[in-house]
Structure 1
Amino acid sequence: MANVTFKEKPVTLAGNQLGEGDQAPDFTVLANDLSEVKLSDSNGKVRLISVVPSIDTGVCEQQTRRFNEEAAKLDNVEILTISADLPFAQRRWCAAEGIENIQVLSDHRDLDFGKKFGLVIEELRLLSRAIFVVDSNDKVTYVEYVSEVTNHVDYEAALEAARNAQ
């Protein structure tokens, strides 16, 4: 298990953490229109999954904007940003910020994604910051569980892993 802190205080992550080479479990999250989205909906593509605690915070905003900008430069890579925010808040934020190149999805309903990827911060009912690259065969090829939730992910390493995944 990754040792994770939030504002330098240890937190407990619920669920099964994944490593490189693991099969990515299918999950169900909600789109901003409340329709269900599953990992299996994008079979055959490389998926970069960017996980943020809340879209309305500085580091989360920067992470989401960065991957939105990078999305156009990646072939056959779908970028998903997942948080436990309500879909309505995500839709409002995306519209205000011009986020159009990635899917921003909510795990608020039942934390299915967070539990299956070992990201639920039990003390806060939020998702811990992380990045996953899942190849077209649903194998995890890159994982980063950020040790301090308020810190940035390694953008370059995640993007390179997405470019190299098939």
Structure 2
Amino acid sequence: MARVTLKGNPVNTNGELPEKGTTAPDFKLTNTDLSEVTLSELKGRKIILNIFPSIDTSTCATSVRKFNEKAASLDNAVVLCISKDLPFAHKRFCGAEGIENVMSLSDFRNTDFARRYGVQLEDGPLAGLNARAVVVIDENGTVVHSELVSEIVDEPDYDAALIS
């Protein structure tokens, strides 16, 4: 179990992020068109997981915008923006914001993603949602970078994720 804070108040996650050098756990997430996306389908590309509580909060929205901007220049890489929001909320946000360079995905249907990646918030006002984290997976499915953002309202380290 890891501990983060929400506006200074301690909150626990269900586990730890996958460690650098380990094989990333497979997952099944729901795309905005309600199709399913798995990690194994994306193998052969660098994958950046931008994990957050809700697209309808300012920090989460900012992270999607920034990764969208930065993803436009990435070769053989994909950024997955993941929350428990319904796919309809992801689609609405991305359409309104002109977000086209990332995949917005929901783990509302297959909740094992948050448990496998150790990001499920176990207590506090956001219990059941995802903590803010970034995990980078190389073309072979190996974790090359992970960051659990210690304060949920803070943004992740974009540069560290992108140079991994």
Is TM > 0.5 for Structure 1 vs Structure 2? yes
1:147 equivalent among 141, 146, 150 = 150
- The offset of 1:16, in angstroms, is 4.7
Match runs of 1:33-72 below 5 Å:
33-72=33-72
Checking the alignment, whether the CA contact within 8 Å between 1:15 and 1:114 is kept in structure 2 is no
Contact 2:17 2:146 in 1 (8 A): no
Runs (5+) with no aligned partner, structure 1: 162-166
Distance 1:108 1:15, change over 3 A: farther
Supply the AA of the counterpart residue of 1:69.
E
Looking at structure 1, the residues matched to 57 and 16 of structure 2 have their Cα atoms a distance apart, in angstroms, of: 26
CA distance in 1, matches of 2:138, 2:145: 9
- CA shift, 1:17, in A, is 2.7
SS of residue paired to 1:100: coil
- Structure 1 residue 24 displacement after superposition: 0.1
Identity of aligned residues (%): 47
* Partner AA of 1:99 in structure 2: I
User: Superposition pairs for residues 4-153 of structure 1, below 5 Å?
Assistant: 4-123=4-123, 124-153=127-156
- Deviation readout 1:83-127 (Å, 9 max, x if unpaired): 111111111111111111110000112322111100000232110
Counterparts of 2:37 and 2:88 in 1: how far apart (Å)?
Answer: 15
Deviations 1:15-64 (A, max 9, x none): 45311111101001100111111111111111011111111111111110
The 8 Å contact of residues 71 and 78 in structure 2, kept in 1 or not, is answered as yes
RMSD: 1.1
Aligned residues: 161
Give the 4+ runs in structure 1 shifted more than 4 A: none
